[in-house]
Amino acid sequence: VVAASSIDLTLGDDPTLPGYLALRAASDSRGTAAFRIVLPTGSILLYNTRPFLNETPSTTKNELMVVNAKLNLLGKVTRYAS
pLDDT tens for 22-63 read 999 999 999 999 999 999 999 999 999 999 999 999 988 898
pLDDT of residue 2: 59
pLDDT of residue 29: 95
Q: In whole angstroms, what is the distance from residue 5 CA to residue 11 CA?
A: 20
pLDDT of residue 82: 82
pLDDT of residue 4: 78
- pLDDT over 60 at 1, yes or no: no
Rounding to the nearest 10 degrees, give the CA dihedral for residues 68, 7, 30, 75: 180
